[in-house]
Amino acid sequence: MGKHFLSINNPNETVMPVHFRKISILIVTLFSFVLCSCCNSDTTSGYVGYVEAEWVYVAAPQSGWLIASFIEEGSEVVSGQAMFELDKQQQSAQLAEAAGRTSQADAQAQDISSGARPAEIRALEAQHQQAAANLSLALAEYKRVMPLVERGVESTIRGDQVDAALNAAEAATIAANEAINVANLAGREQAKVAAAAAYQAAQASEAVAQWQFDERTVRALVDGRVEEVFHRQGEFVTAGSPLVALLPSNGLKVRFFVPQAALASLSVGQPVEVLPDGGAQVAISATVSFIAAAAEFTPPVIYSAESRDKLVFLVEARLPPNTSLNPGLPVDVDF
């Protein structure tokens, strides 16, 4: 059994969804065809057909509570127009987290790509100056003691001490100078590549979070008319659940059947004349968009003395955009 929906105006009244409406329209159309064939079989020209709609069902890409609706049944929408909005607290928090990780990765990449801070450089320079002073003192002591050791005034142990002190001071000075040079350099190439990759990954995560946030607003992707709204504000909808049925501005076509003898005079892209039921309206030019490859028996709805027991082919002709015809309307097609 199909699902019915409660009417807004009368809660005790149920409203059929679009696909049930289409079946009802088709049944009414079939009866109209039968009536036309019984009463006007001698006056009808061309081939009998009917208008059919290609509906666009707009669904929610994510699950959530429907907190706002911006459309009504019968209203016109344009591509990009917001129609519904889902709750987005979780997506907002995820977007803020992703943006923070992007900023963190960017700062780390810049830190690795640059040298030490000026204050750190000044501290290393002070250490180098201290090492240089110690080197001068050690050199002076070496020059004073070594002549005394050679004359035997100072012991050889004392000479070894001042020699070791001089070597240590020289090494400390070299180390302090190299520390300054290293501080002025950026990080190693592999570290910079890793930091840049981490920043790009953080940007991609932020883009995904932004997309998920934007998808909480359901927008129309085609121009058309709102035929039926399936969910209302305050309801919880699941991902993929249709929210609204749209009739695109170019979503109307005419379906009719032609016998095999007339098939040779038809081709895809060929214009045909469509005259709505009633005969008072001006004929509309449509374009053949589909011709069935397989034949079928004449549908019972268009049985007549001339067409009974004949094989026919289904033909579809695309109507121009914004054609003011209703789905299910009987028409005559001529070419």
* Size (the chain), residues: 335
pLDDT score recorded for residue 114: 63
Structure tokens at 161: 């001490």
Distance between CA atoms of residues 155 and 278, nearest Å: 132
Region of 300 on the Ramachandran plot (φ > 0 left; ψ -120 to 50 alpha; else beta): alpha
Is the pLDDT confidence value at 328 over 60?
A: yes
How confident is the model over 238-265, as pLDDT tens digits? 999 999 999 998 899 999 988 888 888 8
Distance between CA atoms of residues 58 and 246, nearest Å: 7
The pTM score is 0.58
pLDDT score recorded for residue 294: 84
Torsion of CA 333, 293, 25, 229, to 10 degrees: -120
In which band, very low, low, confident or very high, does the pLDDT at 31 lie, cut at 50, 70 and 90?
Answer: very low
Q: What burial class does residue 283 get, using C-beta atoms within 10 Å of its C-beta: 0-12 exposed, 13-18 middle, 19+ buried?
A: middle
- The domain segmentation of the chain, as residue ranges, is 29-54+251-335
Q: Are strands 47-53 and 330-334 parallel, antiparallel or unpaired?
A: antiparallel
Is the pLDDT confidence value at 302 over 80?
A: no
DSSP tally for the chain: helices H, then strands E: 6, 17
- Which CATH number, 3.10.580.10, 2.40.30.170, 3.40.640.10, 3.20.20.70, labels domain 29-54+251-335? 2.40.30.170
Least confident among 1-5, 68-72, 269-273: 1-5
In which band, very low, low, confident or very high, does the pLDDT at 310 lie, cut at 50, 70 and 90?
Answer: low
Q: What is the mean pLDDT of residues 266-284?
A: 83
pLDDT score recorded for residue 185: 59
